[in-house]
Amino acid sequence: QVQLVESGGGSVRPGGSLRLSCVFSGSPFYKTAIGWFRQAPGKEREAVSCIGETDGFIYYAESAQGRFTISRDNAKNTVYLQLTDLRPEDTAVYYCALGSYASLRESTYSYWGQGTQVTVAS
């Protein structure tokens, strides 16, 4: 049974930082890419970043470029998303998802976590 569990969300002031974690288990051997997506209230879910089995395949959405950093620890089956210089518009539920290759397209991913809330407000 595939399972993804996000953690690390919270409330921070603008300019603050958070590190999100996505622990995954039970994945088929051919599905190793993790994508991070977010959904703000009243908006559609959007891509944030993704990473393949190795660090050689990393992509960022324009909104994340230069502020967010994705990384993974394969020994721990964990992918991290470091959020820095957070802005109120980053407020959303952040989801991680498991797929066969790194892509910013939602349709690439077959399995999803339940999400973790990030709130940026003064």
Are the C-beta atoms of 68 and 19 separated by less than 8 Å?
Answer: no
Closest CA to 42 of 116, 92, 6, 94: 92
Closest CA to 23 of 36, 6, 38, 1: 6
For residue 63, what pLDDT is reported?
A: 95
Which of the residues in the chain have pLDDT under 70? 29-30, 55
**Residues counted in the chain:** 122
